[in-house]
Amino acid sequence: MSARTVFHTRQWLPFVSSFHRRAVIVQKLCISTHNDEVRLAEEASKKYGSPAPTIFSKIIDKSVPAGIFFEDDKCLAFRDISPQAPVHFLVIPRIPIPRISEAHDDDALLLGHLLVVAKNLAMKEGLDEGYRIVINDGKHGAQSVYHLHIHVLGGRQMQWPPG
């Protein structure tokens, strides 16, 4: 190795080391957030194995404030308490369907309505460049509230794969 190569290596070493430390910190934060979500999903799965009142039930009956910015006779929408994108809101049905996997054929019109409302609100929020719609289902899907809800996320470039 020449003296010049050694100099260049030493010159960049602090940068690489600093970059690596930051990458490890970000990775740990992501893992921590991921583990928190999985833990919450596991706890909710045990607690809400059967239909039970959830925080969303309290938002629907307005006993808990949530900044509802849309509602009709079938659903309502409000901002996520822990946004994962510049725009992140939830659309929930008024009737308590615990999981998408527990929806029945006769829920088809309601489910379609939820998606159309999500699309219309995304357009009103200025997400004309695109957005992501997510429905978590059950423990392995990291569902933390057992009341069906649609996440709408946008305002930045989404990454793939998502999880």
What SS3 state is found at 123? helix
Domains in the chain: boundaries: 1-163
Query: Tell me: the pLDDT tens digits for 101-129?
Result: 999 999 999 999 999 999 999 999 999 99
The three-state secondary structure class of 88 is: strand
Give the pair of three-digit tokens for residue 47. Answer: 């607690």
Pick the CATH number of 1-163 from 3.30.300.30, 2.90.10.10, 3.30.428.10, 3.80.10.10: 3.30.428.10
Task: Give the pLDDT confidence of 63-97 residue by residue, as tens digits.
Answer: 999 999 999 999 999 999 999 999 999 999 999 99
- Selecting among 88, 104, 140, 149, the annotated active-site residue is 149
Beta-carbon contacts of 126 under 8 Å, excluding residues fewer than 6 positions away, are 87, 155
| Active site (annotated) includes residue 104 | no
Instruction: Say if pTM beats, i.e. exceeds, 0.75.
Output: no
